[in-house]
């Protein structure tokens, strides 16, 4: 079976398009590597993925392939496709197209249809419009269905290239964006909440490979947040493959902060420490930025002042892809990517440990730095990193 794959914004890249296309082809191969004999070929402006299924298993496997392709960043859409190799004689090629299309749709039931032809190669003797009309008339006559351009029950897509035609009937939308790995790496701070998995996905869709970092308060709290982080990483892994999750024990540091720091500043200090630990992980993983799921004003710790103070704890850029998103939009993303149901499960999140009753909303950098003078921050960071557990997915 062949899948014709159209890529997304890569089409707009001029000079280094082949870098992006190669990355996408590589990612597709990785996503399908457990299926037999997968080949990904570059054609002009698109990719062709060939998979040799044994016919007895084809039905089920097509849907497996579709489920995976739907999640690969960089794919705009894809379609199971049939191929006709062109002879160069226009009339004969048109005849082959007609016969092949009618053969493939013979056992499908529909009463109206349209043809959507696209001529990528202008040497083909008929224009797209002429192909639509000629093929449409033929199908209408052979199948006994009527043409409906506005609201067809069935669509025949035909793509005419220089040396071949592909046609198919079901185009599936992909997630779009850029292939994972084309923009570099990030360390994504992954809580068990709704926002950070959505933020991770947003960054992966912009071509980042995400390394996940989760802070937990085990054994002060139970294991549930780690379990959630692991399940969330598994779902996110289906968008990038080969993920890594750092599980970082944060309870001891929290307890120290809760003992010594003024209560309203606790959350800001926790957050700054999380970023510092993540920055060290970034160094080790050769990641160029951090990412969080913060959205401006969503909770007390996410005011502009607090975010500014939190940012100043590290040198790396902190990306916040959800900063301007409303909660309902974030929930929509979480539902689409499949993380929502896990995120809403109750857990003992580290933020619940020693949480201040009245957190500061306008944190001040001078006050924050003065409070931190009481702590041996490098020691806290290495204490956490020394006990980190790494899960490879
Ligand atoms: P989320 O829905 O992602 O949990 P939130 O609305 O609960 O976010 P905060 O608790 O203020 O907001 O957390 C802000 C961001 O800090 C999170 O989106 C996440 O990136 C990071 N973060 C918070 N807690 C943790 C944690 N335990 N481990 C890793 N990152 C965390
Ligand atoms: Mg949270």
Q: Which domain holds residue 214?
A: 185-392
Q: Is-cis flag, bond preceding 333, omega within 30? A: no
Do 39 and 167 fall into the same domain?
yes
Q: Is the pLDDT of residue 353 over 90?
A: no
Distance CA 32, CA 270 (A): 40
CATH of the domain at 210: 3.40.50.620
For ligand 1, say whether the CB of 100 is within 6 Å of any of its atoms. no
pLDDT tens per residue, range 275-309: 999 999 999 999 999 999 999 988 877 999 999 99
Residues 199 and 88 in one domain: no
Whether ligand 1 lies within 6 angstroms of the CB of 384 is answered as no
Ligand 1 closest atom vs CA 295: 6
Determine contact, residues 195/302, Cβ cutoff 8 Å: no
Å from CA of 191 to ligand 1 middle:
5
* Distant-in-sequence, close-in-space partners of 200: CB < 8 Å, separation ≥ 6: 188, 190, 210, 212, 236, 291, 293
Q: Is residue 178 part of a domain?
A: no
Q: pLDDT for 162-184, tens place per residue?
A: 899 999 999 999 999 999 999 99
- Residue 220 pLDDT: 83
> Which one, of 187, 272, 271, lies nearest residue 233 by Cα?
187
- The band of 14, judged by pLDDT with boundaries at 50, 70 and 90, is confident
DSSP letters for 64-103: HHHHHHTT-TTEEEEEEEEEEE--S-HHHHHHHHHHHHHH
pLDDT beyond 90 at 270 = yes
Residue that finishes a domain, picked among 173, 200, 233: 173
Q: Which stretches within 220-363 are classed as H helix?
A: 224-240, 251-260, 266-285, 304-311, 327-337, 340-343
Distance (Å, whole) CA 299 – CA 330: 14
Q: Cβ(268)–Cβ(301) under 8 Å?
A: yes
Looking at the structure, do residues 49 and 142 belong to the same domain, yes or no?
Answer: yes
Is the residue at 112 inside a domain? yes
**190-207 pLDDT tens trace:** 999 999 999 999 999 999
pLDDT of amino acid 1:
85
Q: Say whether both 219 and 164 belong to one domain.
A: no
Q: Which of 130, 132, 155, 131 is nearest to 145 (CA)?
A: 155
Compute the distance from residue 348 Cα to the ligand 1 centre, in Å: 13
**This prediction's pTM:** 0.94
Shared-domain flag, residues 69 and 192: no
Number of domains, the chain:
2
Give the Å distance between the CA of 27 and the centre of ligand 1.
29
Last residue of some domain: 149, 173, 197? 173
Q: Give me the pLDDT at residue 61, please.
A: 81
Contact between 313 and 275 under an 8 Å Cβ cutoff? The reply is yes
Ligand 1 neighbour 210 (Cβ under 6 A):
no
Find out whether 319 and 203 touch, Cβ atoms under 8 Å. Answer: yes
| Residues with Cβ–ion distance below 5 A, ligand 2 | 191, 193
Cα distances (angstroms) measured from residue 82 to each of 89, 253, 282: 20, 60, 45
Question: Looking at residues 353-357, what average pLDDT do you find?
Answer: 83
The answer on 209 and 127 residing in a single domain is: no
Distance 305 CA to ligand 1 centre (A): 17
* Best mutation site among 195, 202, 277 for ligand 1 pocket (most ligand atoms within 8 Å of CB): 195
pLDDT attached to residue 121: 77
């Amino acid at each position: 079976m062949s899948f014709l794959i159209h890529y997304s914004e890569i089409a707009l890249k001029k000079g280094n398009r082949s870098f992006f296309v190669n990355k996408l082809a590589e990612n597709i191969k990785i996503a399908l590597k457990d299926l037999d004999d997968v080949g990904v070929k570059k054609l002009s402006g698109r990719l062709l993925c060939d998979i040799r299924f044994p016919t007895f298993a084809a039905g089920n496997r097509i849907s497996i392939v579709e489920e995976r392709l739907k999640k690969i960043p960089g794919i705009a859409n894809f379609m199971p496709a049939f191929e006709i190799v062109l002879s160069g004689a226009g009339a004969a090629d048109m005849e082959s197209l007609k016969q092949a299309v009618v053969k493939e749709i013979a056992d499908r039931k529909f009463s109206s249809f349209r043809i959507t032809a696209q001529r990528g190669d202008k040497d083909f003797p008929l224009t797209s419009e002429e192909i639509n009309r000629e093929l449409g008339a033929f199908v209408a006559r052979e199948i006994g269905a009527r043409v409906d351009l506005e609201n067809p029950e069935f669509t025949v897509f035909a793509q005419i290239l220089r040396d071949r035609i592909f046609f198919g009937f079901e185009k599936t939308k992909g997630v779009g964006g850029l292939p994972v790995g084309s923009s570099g790496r990030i360390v994504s701070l992954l809580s068990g909440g709704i926002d950070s998995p959505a933020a991770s996905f947003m960054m992966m869709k912009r071509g980042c490979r995400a390394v996940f970092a989760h802070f937990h308060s085990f054994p002060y709290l139970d294991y549930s947040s780690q379990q959630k982080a692991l399940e969330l990483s598994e779902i996110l892994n289906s968008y990038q493959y080969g993920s890594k999750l750092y599980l970082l024990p944060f309870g001891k540091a929290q307890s120290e902060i809760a003992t010594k720091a003024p209560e309203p500043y606790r959350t800001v200090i926790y957050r700054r420490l999380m970023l510092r630990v993540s920055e060290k992980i970034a160094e080790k993983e050769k990641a160029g930025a951090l990412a969080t799921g913060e959205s401006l004003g969503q909770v007390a710790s996410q005011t502009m002042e607090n975010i500014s103070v939190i940012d100043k704890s590290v040198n790396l850029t902190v990306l916040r892809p959800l900063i301007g998103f409303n909660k309902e939009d974030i929930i929509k993303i979480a539902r689409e990517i499949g993380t929502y149901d896990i995120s809403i499960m109750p857990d003992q999140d580290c933020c619940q440990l020693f949480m201040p009753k009245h957190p500061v909303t306008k944190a001040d950098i001078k006050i924050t730095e003065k409070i931190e003078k009481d702590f041996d921050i490098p020691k806290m960071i290495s204490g956490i990193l020394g006990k980190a557990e790494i899960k490879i997915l």
